[in-house]
Amino acid sequence: MLHLNHDDHISTHTLIVRDLGLQDYQPCWQAMQTFTNQRNDITPDELWLLEHPPVFTLGQNSDRRHILQQETIPIVSIDRGGQVTYHGPGQLVAYTLIDIRRKGLSIRQFVTKLEQAVIDLLAQDNIHAEAKRGAPGVYVNDEKICSIGLRIRRGYAFHGLALNVDMDLRPFQNINPCGYAGLKMTQLAAFNTSPHFSQVKKRLTDSLMNTLEYHYQHQQGALS
C-alpha cells in the first residue's frame, strides 16, 4: 500500500504535486481509490507523477480480444473507462485526482483540458498535435502519443493520462491500443532524440496548472 502525507489546510486553489518515481501499478491504484473515497469538498486536488513497471491495464468494459498476444507482462483489470493500454518505464503517467464539480467542469470538458495541456506541452517542442473527437487522447500525424482514461466518482476524478516520452513501444504491438485495431503509437523521443524526463514532468505540471487554472503549486512527497 502506498502511504501519503496529506495537508487538509492547503487552499483548494492549490494543486498538490507528488513526484512518486517508479511505482508498481496495483498499490497506486489502491491509493487512488482510498484518496477518492476519503476526500471531501474541501480536500485539495492532487497530481501524481510516476512511471510503472511493464503492465497492461483493462478498462471496466474492455474486450479481452483486444489483447492479441499473451506474454509475461501482467494484465490488470481496473475501474477506469476505456479499453486496453500499456504502461512501462519511460512513459510519464499523470494521475489527476481532481474535483471536477468544484472546477465547474463536465467530464468532456475535463478531458478536453487534459488533452490541451499535452498539446500545449508538445507545441513547446514544435510538435503539432491534436485531439480527436470520440477517441480521447493526443495524436501526432494520426499516431497516438498520449492516452487518457478516467473514473469519476461523486464528481471526483481519478486515473488520468499517460504520455509516451522515451520508452519501448513494442508491447503496444501485442494489443489493439485503446481498442483500435492498427492504431500506431509514437513518443516524444521520435521527435526529440533526447527528451529529459524530469524536464517533461515539470513542463507537463506547468501546462496542467495553466489549463486547469490553479493558482498555487505545493510539492509534496510520499511515504512508502
Q: Are 45 and 9 in contact (CB under 8 A)?
A: no
Cα–Cα distance, 182 to 204 (Å, whole number):
28
What count of Cα atoms within 13 Å lies in the side-chain half-sphere of residue 44? Answer: 24
Angle between the N-to-C axes of helices 107-123 and 197-212, in degrees from 0 to 180, rounded to the nearest 10: 140
The sign of the dihedral angle between the CA atoms of 187, 73, 3, 100 is: positive
178 is known as an active-site residue? yes
Q: Which of 146, 178, 200, 208 is catalytic?
A: 178
What's the DSSP call for residue 68?
-
Question: Annotated catalytic sites, by residue?
Answer: 178
